[in-house]
Structure 1
Amino acid sequence: MCGIAGWVDFARDLSGEHRTIDAMTDTLTPRGPDARGVWCAGHAALGHTRTSVIDLTGGVQPMTAEEDGRTIAVITYSGEVYNFRELRNELEQRGHRFRTRSDTEVVLRSYLEWGADCATRLEGMFSFGVWDVRDQSLLLVRDRFGIKPLFYSLRPGGVLFASEPKALLAHPETGTAVDLDGLREVFSTAKQPGQTVFRDQREVRPGHTLTVRPGKVVERRYWALSARPHTEDLDGTVDHVRSLLEDIVLRELVSDVPLCTTLSGGLDSSAVTALAARWQRKVNGERVRSVTTTYVGYSENFRPDDTRDTADAPYAAELARHVDADHTDIVLDTAALTDPEARKAAMTAQDMPTTVGDMDTSFYLMLRAIRQHSTVALTGETADEIFGGFRWVHDDELVRSGTFPWVANEKRQPGCANGQGRGLFDRSFLQKLDMDRYYADNYHQALAEAPHQEGEDEREHLMRSVCYVKLARWLPMLLDRSDRLAMTSGLETRVPFCDHRLVEYVYNVPWAFKTFDGREKSLLRAAVKDLLPPSVLDRRKSPYPVTQDPAYTRALHQELADLLADPNAPVLPLLDRSAADEVLRHPKDVAQDWPSRMNVEMALQFNSWLKHYGVSLEL
């Protein structure tokens, strides 16, 4: 897992531009602490930072391919292609010769064999750029769901690209202007495909390639979900899901470095951990390593809120005992959550503030701690999106609300009348953002994209649409957050539930099958019921925990008071001062009012972002 960066300029010789590509590459050092490299020649300059996972000595990048003693192509690549061994065998039969054991070389050779169509043959998570010396073209490729990020900026003479916006910002010809569309992305919980926060940047969309030649840029979609008839009965469907999960987890255990699972004690992460435990024993004769994160006193003093019925740690401990995992508990305290450096690291990892508050900081701290003893972590993320795990998916009022169900659900929460994280911002600023219109346009665009089967009844049509908008607008946001917060510590996270074969299959399973026992994630629960203890198997969905320590809220309120007292705070003109003062006068119960706390956290993070990046707002 790595960081990639590149600069192509068809009007300039970049052979001597090491300083610029070095600066871009250096911003990505956290993504690749094990090695770095740059390649400059002609009209292209490529950079790479590496977290070594497979073929620790042979996978050095940027990697070149030669023919008759001359370089014909160069790649800078981030990701894991899980079918690289099968592809390598096929390419060897076609006459290709390999000098490493790495999947990077397989991807490069796949490009030489199939060109841009190589993307259709890669299974896994990846983003990469290939500079073809022969025809002076650049190919950018991103995996089907956008698990690995890939940003770019078109310039008069060519293009810049990188794993993260900060690398593009390190180029002297880019700026930090953010317009209203970019601000909508900051406050949104529904990702607009291709849109980014900084005005002059874009994302390569999931499942797309971008080919850049002199005076010509061609975007092409190489993969999309499709609607197909489902022919298996319920028992056959459950068996098929189990078979896919077995194969996916086995493939994703391949690593030349220490690997673990992140375990919350919920159905999703427990299923991954249990499957991994079986394969580790069978294939390697080892115990699986698992990690759980909680807060000091959280389990002992837990109080249910609107979305969380139970604390994670007791269920995680039971599952770890059940599968005989080598288990570690990571316990965070309020001091860690309020540490300015940790909060800044979580914000700069994503190059923007977010609306989820301490969940970002705690997630970052968890992933950083995992990296101390593992380089790769398998997670249970995206199972909710695929199998129907969120509570709002099963609320008829929300799924018929005419907007994204999770957005409609946000407005039910106390302190979220203006939307999650926007409660302390000025009304005139929010009117300019007009998030309701933004969401409406984005939602209807997503609905128009959704593939459907012929003959669907009204309920099936509705729920297939809901499933699609989750995958197309919620999932990319979740995946980007996970990648960026993990890779800032050089930790590779893998998401078995995001295997495209599983997603394609489950997308076409009837909604009645997905809820056959009257609960969320019925198919997944049935597929792994023999692996889990009853308490974990039957546990109700519980989102990622937020701290319930009143000391955390007090610390936030003190920071807010300090911000309001600073006449130079850049966020002040955007805030509703009366709303902020009201929060300080009447602090509410921390366990029951976490949405209101997110409003404070967003105001603080927004201010930090404006200062740290020197953002130029175009309102």
Structure 2
Amino acid sequence: MCGITGWISYDQDLTAERDTLDAMTATMACRGPDAAGLWTDTHAALGHRRLAVIDIEGGKQPMSVERDGRTALVTTYSGEIYNYRELRAELTARGHAFRTSSDTEVALHAYLEWGEDFTHRLNGMYAFALWDPREQRLLLVRDRMGIKPLYYYPTPDGVLFGSEPKAILAHPAVRPAVDAEGLAELLAFTKTPGHAVYKGMYEVRPGHLVRVGRQGLAEHRYWGLEAREHTDDTDTTVRRVRELLDDIVARQLIADVPLCTLLSGGLDSSAITALAARGLSDAERGPVRSFAVDFVGQTEHFKADALRATPDGPYAHALAEHVGADHQDIVLDTAALMDPAHRYATLAARDLPFGSGESDTSLYLLFKSIRDRSTVALSGESADEVFGGYSWFHDPRATGADTFPWIAVFREVGFTGIRSGGREALLHPEVLAKVDLEAYQAARYREALSEVPHREGDSATERRMREICYLHLTRFVQFLLDRKDRASMAVGLEVRVPFCDHRLVEYVFNTPWSMKTFDGREKSLLRAATRDLLPDAVAQRVKSPYPSTQDRRYNEAIQAELRGLLADGDAPVRPLLDTAAARRAADGAAGDARQPIEMALGLDAWLRRYGVELTL
């Protein structure tokens, strides 16, 4: 995994702009701590920071290939192509010669052989740029599910791009500005494909590529979910899911560095850990390492809430013992969660304040601890979106709501499982009127529904559940993938997500909802496909989202911080706040207001650190 950036300018000589490219590339050092590289030509400048995972010595970047003594193609590449060995063999048979053992070089030769159609042959997670010096053309490519981020900023004579907004913001011509629509996107709890919050900046959409030439930019979709007839019966479907998972995990265990799994004790992470344990044992590379996050005293004093019925600890330990994992709990306390350095590192990792507060900070600290022992981690992320695991998939009030189903639920119980008001609850009514969050969410919801592919003859239930699945696979999962990528890459940890393999996503998307719930429960297909690998308690456990600290001292700490902010007449967030509502929240008179307090504190830190210009 790596961090990439670059600058295309058809009106300037970029060989004289190495200092600017250096500054842009330096922002990606967190994503690539092992090496740095620059490549410049008259109208193109590419930067790269490397996290060495495959072909440690040979995979340095930016990487180029030559034809007839001239540079034919250059790339700055981030990600992993899991089928690169098969592609390499096929390309070798077609006459291509390779200098390295890296998947990066395979991507270069694949483009030379098949042109833009090479995207159809890639299996993996990736975001990269390809510069063709002969045609003076750039191609930005992002993987099908949007696992790896890639942003771009059109300029009058070209484009700037980077793995994260910070790379683009490091360019002297770019100012961090956010308008009312950007603030709405920040607060909406749905990640709109292509939207980057910052004015003038965009994100390459999942399954898309962007062509950049002298005539401007053009976007092209090379992959998307399609509605197809599912002809397999239930038993055959379960077998096919297992076959796919066996192949996917085997491919994603390939690494030349230490590897581990993230283990919460839920069905998803337990299935991945068990499959990884078996694969590593068969290859005599075991035992599998696994890690879980916990909070001081939480397992012993756990209190069930609207989203979480059980603590993770006992289930993670049961699975680890069952498969013989080398397991470690990363136990955090409130002091670590409130440490200003940790909170700022979390904000800097995302370039935006999402108001998830300690959930983001704890994820960052979990990954920071894991990085001391491993460079690659396998995660169970996205299984809920693929197989229908969240409680609201099975709640008619949520699935029948005229909005994104998770928004309907979070309005009632909040992201932490305790009702605390929406993230926008402390903002001033005049600010909320300008943002018009409800109208923004409604417009994005209708936009998403208009994309859903349907099959003729589906029942009303099947039709609606196809919509619900599509919304999760194209909107909700993007929020989670982005969160996980930023928190992990902030410490140079590569996180792989086997459940995002496009073959599995396509297959399960087209299985009927009645089959996805054939045993009357959530994630029926996944449970049946991996049941032989799991202890009964783990296999039967009800879905529990990522944990949130229940320590009351955390609430007291953020309330105190909000009181300090309200006492600071120069706090940049003050004009955005409803002062009376903020005071009630700070004094504890508004009940559990954790989520809106987190957003207010995050907005203030963001405005201070990034110098954001709000144009509402």
Do the structures match in fold with TM over 0.5? Answer: yes
Give the superposition deviation at 1:306.
1.1
Q: How does 1:225-304 map to 2 (within 5 A)?
A: 225-304=225-304
* Residue type of the alignment partner of 2:546: Y
Aligned partner of 2:133 in structure 1 is 133
With over 3 angstroms needed to count, the CA separation of the structure-2 counterparts of 1:437 and 1:588, relative to structure 1, is: closer
> Are 2:611 and 1:614 aligned?
yes
Aligned partner of 1:598 in structure 2 is 595
Paired residue secondary structure (1:604): helix
* CA–CA separation in structure 1 for the residues paired with 2:65 and 2:359: 43
* CA–CA separation in structure 2 for the residues paired with 1:254 and 1:405: 37
* CA–CA separation in structure 1 for the residues paired with 2:422 and 2:326: 38
> Are 2:425 and 1:428 aligned?
no
> Are 2:2 and 1:5 aligned?
no
Q: How does 1:91-106 map to 2 (within 5 A)?
A: 91-106=91-106
> Are 2:402 and 1:381 aligned?
no
* Residue type of the alignment partner of 1:515: T
* Residue type of the alignment partner of 2:345: A
Aligned partner of 2:584 in structure 1 is 582
> Are 2:29 and 1:29 aligned?
yes
8 Å Cα contact 2:414/2:421 also seen in 1 = no
Aligned partner of 1:41 in structure 2 is 41
* CA–CA separation in structure 2 for the residues paired with 1:366 and 1:205: 28
* CA–CA separation in structure 1 for the residues paired with 2:286 and 2:610: 46
Give the superposition deviation at 1:587.
5.4
Q: How does 1:134-173 map to 2 (within 5 A)?
A: 134-173=134-173
> Are 2:367 and 1:364 aligned?
no
* CA–CA separation in structure 1 for the residues paired with 2:421 and 2:151: 27
> Are 2:210 and 1:214 aligned?
no
Aligned partner of 2:463 in structure 1 is 461
8 Å Cα contact 1:72/1:134 also seen in 2 = yes
> Are 2:59 and 1:72 aligned?
no
* Residue type of the alignment partner of 1:522: S
* Residue type of the alignment partner of 1:249: V
With over 3 angstroms needed to count, the CA separation of the structure-2 counterparts of 1:13 and 1:162, relative to structure 1, is: same
- Segment drifting more, 476-485 vs 377-386: 476-485
8 Å Cα contact 2:414/2:595 also seen in 1 = no
Give the superposition deviation at 1:285.
4.2
Aligned partner of 2:313 in structure 1 is 313
* CA–CA separation in structure 1 for the residues paired with 2:285 and 2:6: 42
* Residue type of the alignment partner of 2:610: Y
1:10-43 per-position Cα deviation (integer Å, ceiling 9, x unaligned): 1111112110100000001000000010011110
* Residue type of the alignment partner of 1:617: L
* CA–CA separation in structure 2 for the residues paired with 1:299 and 1:431: 43
Aligned partner of 1:571 in structure 2 is 573
8 Å Cα contact 1:64/1:74 also seen in 2 = yes
* CA–CA separation in structure 1 for the residues paired with 2:484 and 2:285: 30
Paired residue secondary structure (2:531): coil
8 Å Cα contact 2:6/2:46 also seen in 1 = yes
Picking from 520, 523, 526, the partner of 2:525 is 523
Give the superposition deviation at 1:210.
0.7
1:168-205 per-position Cα deviation (integer Å, ceiling 9, x unaligned): 01111111111111111211211111111110101111
* Residue type of the alignment partner of 2:368: R
Aligned partner of 2:473 in structure 1 is 471
Give the superposition deviation at 1:584.
2.7
* Residue type of the alignment partner of 1:423: A
Tell me the C-alpha RMSD between the 2 structures: 1.3
Paired residue secondary structure (1:556): helix
* CA–CA separation in structure 1 for the residues paired with 2:587 and 2:554: 17
* CA–CA separation in structure 2 for the residues paired with 1:56 and 1:234: 44
* Residue type of the alignment partner of 2:14: L
Paired residue secondary structure (1:529): helix
Aligned partner of 2:334 in structure 1 is 334
Give the superposition deviation at 1:586.
2.8
* Residue type of the alignment partner of 1:253: L
The unaligned stretches of length 5 or more in structure 1 are none
Give the superposition deviation at 1:437.
0.9
* CA–CA separation in structure 2 for the residues paired with 1:205 and 1:500: 15
Paired residue secondary structure (2:126): strand
8 Å Cα contact 2:150/2:161 also seen in 1 = yes
> Are 2:186 and 1:186 aligned?
yes
With over 3 angstroms needed to count, the CA separation of the structure-2 counterparts of 1:587 and 1:334, relative to structure 1, is: farther
* CA–CA separation in structure 1 for the residues paired with 2:434 and 2:395: 31
* CA–CA separation in structure 1 for the residues paired with 2:386 and 2:15: 46
Give the superposition deviation at 1:8.
0.5
* CA–CA separation in structure 2 for the residues paired with 1:573 and 1:13: 43
Paired residue secondary structure (1:29): coil
Aligned partner of 1:488 in structure 2 is 490
Paired residue secondary structure (1:140): strand
* Residue type of the alignment partner of 2:438: D
* CA–CA separation in structure 1 for the residues paired with 2:315 and 2:414: 29
Give the superposition deviation at 1:580.
1.3
1:557-584 per-position Cα deviation (integer Å, ceiling 9, x unaligned): 1111100000000000111111111123
* CA–CA separation in structure 1 for the residues paired with 2:37 and 2:496: 25
* CA–CA separation in structure 2 for the residues paired with 1:324 and 1:418: 41
Give the superposition deviation at 1:413.
2.4
Give the superposition deviation at 1:420.
2.9
Aligned partner of 2:397 in structure 1 is 397
Give the superposition deviation at 1:418.
9.8
* Residue type of the alignment partner of 1:509: T
The unaligned stretches of length 5 or more in structure 2 are none
* Residue type of the alignment partner of 2:507: Y
* Residue type of the alignment partner of 2:468: V
* CA–CA separation in structure 2 for the residues paired with 1:117 and 1:461: 32
8 Å Cα contact 1:355/1:420 also seen in 2 = no
> Are 2:509 and 1:507 aligned?
yes
Paired residue secondary structure (1:526): helix
TM-score, with structure 2 as normaliser:
0.98
Aligned partner of 1:413 in structure 2 is 413
Aligned partner of 2:448 in structure 1 is 446
8 Å Cα contact 2:413/2:420 also seen in 1 = no
* Residue type of the alignment partner of 1:196: A
* Residue type of the alignment partner of 1:384: D
TM-score, with structure 1 as normaliser:
0.98
* Residue type of the alignment partner of 2:608: K
8 Å Cα contact 2:176/2:612 also seen in 1 = yes
Aligned partner of 1:110 in structure 2 is 110
Matched pairs, number: 614
8 Å Cα contact 2:140/2:210 also seen in 1 = yes
Stretches (4+) displaced over 4 A: 414-419
* CA–CA separation in structure 2 for the residues paired with 1:190 and 1:552: 26
8 Å Cα contact 1:16/1:40 also seen in 2 = no
Aligned partner of 1:539 in structure 2 is 541
* CA–CA separation in structure 1 for the residues paired with 2:586 and 2:221: 50
Among all aligned residue pairs of Structure 1 and Structure 2, give the percentage whose two residues are the same amino acid.
56
Paired residue secondary structure (1:373): coil
- Segment drifting more, 321-330 vs 419-428: 419-428
Give the superposition deviation at 1:67.
1.7
* CA–CA separation in structure 1 for the residues paired with 2:574 and 2:366: 32
Paired residue secondary structure (1:276): helix
* Residue type of the alignment partner of 1:485: A
* CA–CA separation in structure 2 for the residues paired with 1:260 and 1:429: 45
- Segment drifting more, 540-549 vs 283-292: 283-292
* CA–CA separation in structure 2 for the residues paired with 1:245 and 1:39: 39
